[in-house]
Structure 1
Amino acid sequence: MITSPKGSAPARNGALDEPWDVVVIGGGNAALVSALSARDHGARVLLLERAPTVFRGGNSRHTRNIRCVHDYTDAYYTGRYTYDELWTDLGGVGTGPSNEALAALTVRESETVPRWMTDHGVRWQPALTGTLALARTNRFFLGGGKALVNSYYRAAERAGIVVLYEASVEQLGFTGDACTEIVVRVAQGRRRVRAKAVVCASGGFEANIDWLRRYWGDAALNYHVRGPKYNDGTVLAQLLDAGAERAGEERGFHAIAVDARSPKFDGGIATRLDTIPFGIVVNRDGRRFYDEGEDIWPKRYAIWGRNIAVQPDQIAYSLWDSKVHGLFLPPMYGVSAAPSIGELASRFDLDPLAVEETVARYNAAVDRGPGGRFRWRSGTACPRSASIRPRATGPSASTGRRSTAWRCGRGSPSPTSVWRSPNRHTSGARTAACSATSSLQGRSCRETFCRPGTWPVSG
């Protein structure tokens, strides 16, 4: 499918055969920001989206907010979030930034992102409270990720950007070090598109299980991919084969904990589970393996995907008791409840005695400190640092959870250094060199790096 400004039909009048100033490969947030920025600077822009219209937007369909530096309070933020605080949060996830210079640039420039987004049609959700209390650090899109990408596509249409859907890039053609031609397959067949500059923003390789297995072995067979099946690394592989400078970590990815009953691909943000700080998490052997209270918000969710990824069978179970119902967003697939911990464990084919022993050890490590607050006894294995409360031995509930590979951290660098070539740029998942494990690999990174100040312009 081809969309274009009213009064123009590029597929019929041969305009696709004319050289484009900028061709953007990809249809998510990174691609759209790149295309809009290039158009803002007068470039003639073509955007190639591999997915059909209904699935356009890549992983961006499944996001809901951004995290940016700000020193003010307004209808969308309830407090300040400083450079130092955001930098600390970024460094506290996984192994921290893979490239400190790029990460620092991302954090510093993130302050400019909301205004640019607003100017290009994005609308914002007023500050939320309750179970999703992130309004000091995070700014939410009105309508979520789907509304975000729809806003950008409307802005692209108004600006005269041509979009091709179900457009699969089969080959990148080079003249010396410059990418000057793209072979793309559309409904009408294979087409050759010439370009002065090419932006590769086509996602990572997280949906390519065979590629994941190179780094994670057969464990990758158990991963769920929260994003689209189209992110299989086809364009990334071509870039690397053509000599792109490699960056990031081979085993680096931004992964979260999702419901084990969710689809293998494209389950989206609704499959995420937020129960972890309110109970305990055990692996297949019925044992705790990480501090559930290490972080509540805003980065806790980005820690647990990797934690589960290295557990037996890449699965874990979140257990809580009836006292905490209503303190977190309920799982979309419901929960399993039982009158006792042993019975609940049996429902998940876990060893009841092992789980009961784990709960008993956990409860024995909790006592009351000054003021009646619960605290953790020092010297206990697998400590608990925050949100400490004893687990009841009575009515309990649980969900199973898997790791999801959402964005993978092996890519080519950001536009500030990619290939040291004048006409090739990468964005989005390609900026994995910024941070291979944290969520800042995504939203703020894309909005920062996808707005370069110069673009090739016709005439």
Structure 2
Amino acid sequence: MSSIPLAFDCIVVGSGNAGSCAALAAKDAGCARVLVVDKCPPDWVGGNGYFTAGAYRTVHEGVHDLLPIVHNVPPDSDLASKIDIDPYTHDHFTGDIMRLGGGQPNRELVKALVDDSRATVQWLADRVKMPFTLSFNRQAYLVDGRQKFWGGLALSVQDGGKGVIAAHQKALKEAGVEVWFDTPAVELKVEKGIVTGVVVKRNQETVYLQTPAVILAAGGYEASRQLRGKYMGSQWEYAKVRGTPYNTGDGLSLATAAGARLVGDFQGCHSTCWDANAPADTGDRCLSNQFTKSGYPLGLMLNSLGERFVDEGEDFRNYTYAKFGKRILEQPGGYAFQVWDSKVTSWLREEEYGDGIVKKIWADSLDELVVKLEGEGLERKEAFLETLNVYNNAVRSFQAENSDKMWDPAIKDSLSTQSGHHSLPLPKSNWAVTIDQGPFLAVKVACGITFTFGGLAIDPSTAAVLSESGEPIPGLFCTGELVGGLFYTNYPGGSGLTAGAVFGRKAGTNAAVLMQ
């Protein structure tokens, strides 16, 4: 080990959205020399943030509140007058996190996230120059000539996660923040209960970096088959890694060795419907989030035995996609088939279902479709056809009793399979239309794991890491996916990037206090 420590005012472990926000906030708050270290090579900068769709969920007052910070809709344009975005209140945001988490999320953490969400988005727009857009392609449908946003989410970033990380890297460079790649953090130095530095591996040497403040933003353990199996069960060893292969639980081991307390849902994670032909242990830097397959509310999902296993219309996609990946993993073989007919295929998003993006299985009839699906792993084609037949009959019965109801993908339209004459044990609660008009389309999907929910206990107001006794560990902070106790079982889409930014700002700002 080098005998002469290098000194920094603040060191951030992790180069993703959360770590970048922390580093910039620390720099702005008075830390003259800020360093970001990441064990990944430069080509893998950005952690999981790079692989996202770039969505940020935030409290807002409606379309007029968001137009000043987006780049794709001039405030006085004709397009601006044809956009419907309902206000998303503190109660809405809080209620979504608590509802999807079964009442288990730490209420103080949730409050800190929700209360600071709008100010943080504004900071990203002003300070980071984040190229925000209204997410027409993911969160709106064109209905009766109007762009109708749904699911409480409207903001995204130009070029998705790639745009998020590009903006962060530019802002860090302009602020004079140093970034070292190929530099894993291997140990936290602690003296008399106070964190005083970080030991890293750099250029094949062990180097001690001295600092009064360390911010851990190294992600969860989703890329470690071993830790997934340990915490979540052996079946999770077969989930496909959606993002970076470098999130292998380093932050957990660093912090617990320094006395940090683990909290949260260690059996839970953000998992999604993922292309069954995607790589197993790493995301693709080119296709990135395009492996997501979130068109299931418009159709059905059936397993290899020809059975449905989720209510595809339970809620808007961004309230169900983070949990349905787990349900796919639980099916025989760990895969399923999404199916649509010609009435809805044009509504599928091009970036997820376009030619060259996914293997499409087309057929002019359902009989032809099941024959083709046998080659993809369908084991019981008769059961598959019977499931569709029973479903179609249930939809027709509902339509016969509710002829006034119209299909509308921008609202929960209540078109279901449950009527007075025919109801399914497993309903489809919204957007239920028959699958009976060819050509038919199917794609094979698997479970893609994005990030894990279990992590470190932090102080909601400062992002300081808490010890086993519940007291802050002096000099140690945490943000991003490594924060535990915020999400359980499921989460509302777009909350992850916002949470990383909110607690990253808190961590960076409070790290700078140690310089005073």
TM-score w.r.t. length of structure 2 = 0.81
CA distance in 1, matches of 2:484, 2:109: 10
Q: Which residue of 2 aligns with 1:137?
A: 153
The unaligned stretches of length 5 or more in structure 1 are 1-13
Q: Which residue of 2 aligns with 1:361?
A: 390
| Percent identical residues | 27
The answer to whether the 8 A contact 2:301-2:308 is kept is: yes
> For residues 16-415 of structure 1, what are the structure 2 equivalents within 5 Å?
17-43=5-31, 44-63=33-52, 64-74=54-64, 75=67, 76=70, 78-79=84-85, 80-95=87-102, 97-129=104-136, 132-133=139-140, 134=149, 137-187=153-203, 189-264=205-280, 265-267=282-284, 268-330=288-350, 331=353, 332-345=357-370, 346-350=374-378, 351-366=380-395, 367=397, 368=399, 369-371=402-404, 373=406, 375-378=416-419, 379-392=423-436, 394-414=438-458, 415=463
The answer to whether the 8 A contact 2:56-2:495 is kept is: no
CA distance in 2, matches of 1:233, 1:375: 42
The partner residue of 1:418 within 462, 466, 484 is 466
CA distance in 2, matches of 1:255, 1:45: 34
The answer to whether the 8 A contact 1:61-1:149 is kept is: yes
Q: In structure 2, the residue corresponding to 1:210 is in which secondary structure? A: helix
CA distance in 2, matches of 1:181, 1:98: 32
CA distance in 2, matches of 1:305, 1:185: 36
Q: In structure 2, the residue corresponding to 1:65 is in which secondary structure? A: coil
> Which segment is superposed worse, 179-188 or 198-207?
179-188
The answer to whether the 8 A contact 1:120-1:152 is kept is: no
> Which segment is superposed worse, 408-417 or 163-172?
408-417
Query: How far does the alpha carbon of each residue in 1:134-189 deviate from its partner, in whole angstroms, 9 at most, with x for none?
Result: 48622111222222222222211221211111111122221122221222112252
Q: In structure 2, the residue corresponding to 1:319 is in which secondary structure? A: strand
The answer to whether the 8 A contact 1:431-1:441 is kept is: no
Deviation at 1:26, TM superposition (A): 0.7
Q: In structure 1, the residue corresponding to 2:213 is in which secondary structure? A: strand
Q: Which residue of 2 aligns with 1:6?
A: none
CA distance in 2, matches of 1:96, 1:309: 25
Q: In structure 1, the residue corresponding to 2:59 is in which secondary structure? A: coil
Letter in 2 for 1:320: W
Letter in 2 for 1:36: L
CA distance in 1, matches of 2:456, 2:138: 37
Q: Which residue of 1 aligns with 2:78?
A: none
Letter in 1 for 2:238: N
Q: Which residue of 2 aligns with 1:7?
A: none
| Alignment CA distance shift 1:25-1:126 (3 Å) | closer
Q: CA RMSD in A?
A: 2.3
TM-score w.r.t. length of structure 1 = 0.91
Q: Which residue of 1 aligns with 2:146?
A: none
Query: How far does the alpha carbon of each residue in 1:76-126 deviate from its partner, in whole angstroms, 9 at most, with x for none?
Result: 485221112222322343535521221122112111122110122333344
Q: In structure 1, the residue corresponding to 2:187 is in which secondary structure? A: strand
CA distance in 2, matches of 1:127, 1:441: 16
| Alignment CA distance shift 1:400-1:263 (3 Å) | same
Letter in 2 for 1:371: D
Q: Which residue of 1 aligns with 2:496?
A: 442
Letter in 1 for 2:403: P
CA distance in 1, matches of 2:515, 2:464: 23
The answer to whether the 8 A contact 1:59-1:227 is kept is: yes
CA distance in 1, matches of 2:133, 2:217: 30
Is 1:451 the counterpart of 2:476 in the alignment? no
Deviation at 1:372, TM superposition (A): 6.0
The answer to whether the 8 A contact 1:204-1:232 is kept is: yes
Deviation at 1:457, TM superposition (A): 5.7
CA distance in 2, matches of 1:55, 1:68: 28
The answer to whether the 8 A contact 2:98-2:105 is kept is: no
| Alignment CA distance shift 1:191-1:323 (3 Å) | same
CA distance in 2, matches of 1:409, 1:30: 15
CA distance in 2, matches of 1:364, 1:344: 19
Letter in 2 for 1:363: N
CA distance in 2, matches of 1:159, 1:457: 20
CA distance in 2, matches of 1:433, 1:321: 41
The answer to whether the 8 A contact 1:429-1:441 is kept is: no
> Which segment is superposed worse, 88-97 or 347-356?
88-97
Q: Which residue of 2 aligns with 1:4?
A: none
The unaligned stretches of length 5 or more in structure 2 are 71-82, 141-148, 407-414
| Alignment CA distance shift 1:372-1:319 (3 Å) | same
The answer to whether the 8 A contact 2:195-2:473 is kept is: no
The answer to whether the 8 A contact 1:19-1:196 is kept is: no
The answer to whether the 8 A contact 1:408-1:432 is kept is: no
CA distance in 2, matches of 1:81, 1:257: 26
Q: Which residue of 1 aligns with 2:74?
A: none
| Alignment CA distance shift 1:405-1:395 (3 Å) | same
| Alignment CA distance shift 1:81-1:53 (3 Å) | same
| Alignment CA distance shift 1:179-1:363 (3 Å) | same
> Which segment is superposed worse, 299-308 or 221-230?
299-308
Matched positions, count = 446
